[in-house]
Amino acid sequence: MTQFNINEDIEEIAGGEFERQPVPTSKLKSWKSFIGMYAGEHAAGTEFMIGPLFLTTGVSAFDLIVGLLVGNLLAVLSWRFLTAEIAVKNRLTLYYQLEKICGKKLVTGYNLANGILFCFLAGSMITVSATAVGIPFNMPMPKLTDTMPNGVTWIVIVIFIGAVISIIAARGYDTVTKAANWMSPFIVAAFIACGIVALHQLGVDSFSDFWNIWGEGSEPFPGQTKYTFWHVMLWSWFANAAMHIGMSDLSVFRFAKKARAGWATAAGMYVGHYMAWIAAALLYAVYLKSPEAQAFLTNGEAPPVAPGPLANNAIGVFGIVAVVLAGWTTANPTIYRAGLAFQAIFPKFSTAKVTILAGTVATIAGLFPAFAMKLLGFVALYGFILSPIGAIIVFEHFFNKQTGIIKNYAEKANINFNKSVLYAWAISFGVFYFISVQFNVFLSFVTLPAWIICGALYLVFSKYLQKRIL
């Protein structure tokens, strides 16, 4: 008991985040902290992009409204019964947990990939905020097909926003959750206001009018994929695959008192990934009726998706501020997660320093609009890449006794490279990515099969290799 208290004191003095030890009981947080964080993170910058991007796919009313309802429920269940359940048992970060299973050498590659992908996601949210900050400066907005920075003003604004977000994230988990709690009520109110104003601008007087905004759907915009119910349902389930079935949010829920804190994710899914996505789609529906958007469509081009101007058109300055804050509340915890990944690679560096590094990478990514404009495809890809590793943690946690494999094998066998992990991930990723590319299969369709196969293969390879070694 004395030793535990000493370790806790050391972490406090060093300003640490308990990266390499279980979170002590004195630092556990109530469900309220998680509601604030998830509502803030998921009623945020991505929503201003994703809602409009759904319209570019020609989705129908039923496919969008019911598909989102089901997909988000599956996401909440994944957080509650997988991520939170395992997190409160071990109270370790994803990265330290993987080190125990995979070994230091193998997990370094995963941590690097995880950190970089999170930085790219955070960078897309810096892009979102920049579209709002740039309005007073008459900054040209990026187009749906843009990949490179479009001017000096854009570069300056992105760097400024990235610096502020990085400093907030570097102050640790407490600051990240406090920032979310402060900003999320304002952002949620802005989404509601945007939706109401957009409905008025669209002349919606009944539910049938609302339904007819999407109706039976349409042809997708140039360069976009046609979405059906299954696209929407599976994409919305796996939009955060890296966080729930990929186990990244072990790093968040290790602070929870009980596994039932996982239900708090519903605040993010149904306020953010349901109400906010639909509200943002309504903003874009208004824009599509404008002469500017019609001119793009007449020329066979996809009209731009710029959250700042869309929100400004609906609720003015309130909308501009909301978009800025929305980008922040997504980028903050994402950069925090990326910092933890980099900290696992560089354990001698403080969390604050590696988080600043993550923020720098995210800011550089934010300079390139492609990450935001191709957000639907990017989110599907990074979930597909990272989530199978989470299956290894899940299958080991729930099935190690039944299969007779050794839990945390790399730590107990004192090895730096667990081949079972590499073989399982490489085969599942390779096979299903080949299927997706070769047969033009929507990536979210193969995420769950890849996840299950990876976990099953890990058990098989572990049973065989552990028997040979021990």
The model's pLDDT over 404-462, given as tens digits with 9 standing for 90+, comes to 999 999 999 999 999 999 999 999 999 999 999 999 999 999 999 999 999 999 999 99
- Which amino acid appears at position 172 of this protein? G
CB 459 within 8 A of CB 405: yes
User: Residues with Cβ < 8 Å from 337, sequence gap 6 or more?
Assistant: 118, 248, 251
Q: Which amino acid is at 296?
A: F
Query: Does residue 79 carry a pLDDT above 90?
Result: yes
Taking the C-alpha atoms of residue 37 and residue 183, their distance in angstroms, rounded to an integer, is 10
Categorize the per-residue pLDDT at 292 as very low, low, confident or very high, splitting at 50, 70 and 90.
confident
> What distance in Å separates the CA atoms of residue 325 and residue 128, rounded to the nearest whole number?
10
Instruction: Give just the sign of the alpha carbon dihedral 363, 365, 366, 368.
Output: positive
How does 116-147 read in b/e, with b if 16+ C-beta sit within 10 Å? Answer: bbbbbbbbbbbbbbbbbbbbeeebebbbbebe
C-beta of residue 144 within 8 angstroms of C-beta of residue 307: no
Looking at the chain, the whole-number percentage of residues with pLDDT higher than 70 is 92
CB of 387 closer than 8 Å to CB of 246: yes
pLDDT tens-digit series, residues 248-282: 899 889 999 999 999 999 998 999 899 999 999 99
Q: pLDDT confidence of 181, banded at 50, 70, 90?
A: low
Q: Give the pLDDT score at 4.
A: 30
φ, ψ dihedrals at 275, nearest 5°? -60, -50
Sorting pLDDT into bands at 50, 70 and 90, what band is 355? confident
| Phi, psi angle pair for 256, to nearest 5° | -80, 145
Q: Given a cut of 80, is residue 158 above it in pLDDT?
A: yes
What is the pLDDT averaged over residues 42-61?
88
Q: Walk me through the domains of the chain, giving residue ranges and CATH numbers.
A: 28-382 (1.10.4160.10)
Q: pLDDT tens digit string along 80-136?
A: 999 999 999 999 888 889 999 999 888 888 888 888 988 998 899 899 889 989 988
Question: Can you tell me the distance from the alpha carbon of 312 to that of 212, in angstroms, rounded to the nearest whole number?
Answer: 25
- Who wins on pLDDT, 128 or 63? 63
Dihedral in degrees, nearest 10, Cα atoms 272, 443, 375, 275: -20
Q: Please compute the mean of the pLDDT values over residues 216-220 and round it to a whole number.
A: 89
Mean pLDDT of the chain: 87
Task: Report which of residues 4 and 353 the model is more confident about.
Answer: 353
Beta carbons of 49 and 131 less than 8 angstroms apart: no
* pLDDT at 353 (0 to 100): 85
Q: Which residues contact 46 (CB under 8 A, 6 or more apart)?
A: 124, 125, 128, 330, 375, 379
Within 25-103, residue ranges assigned H as helices are 31-42, 45-56, 61-78, 84-90, 94-102
What pLDDT was estimated at residue 12?
34
Whether 39 has a pLDDT exceeding 80, the answer reads no
The residue-averaged pLDDT of 30-45 equals 78
Handedness of CA 234, 382, 100, 7 (dihedral sign): negative
Instruction: Give the contacts of 286 (CB within 8 A, at least 6 positions apart).
Output: 198, 201, 202, 310, 313, 314
The predicted pLDDT at position 15 comes to: 36
Q: What is the mean pLDDT of residues 225-246?
A: 95
pTM of structure: 0.86
3-class DSSP state of 359: helix
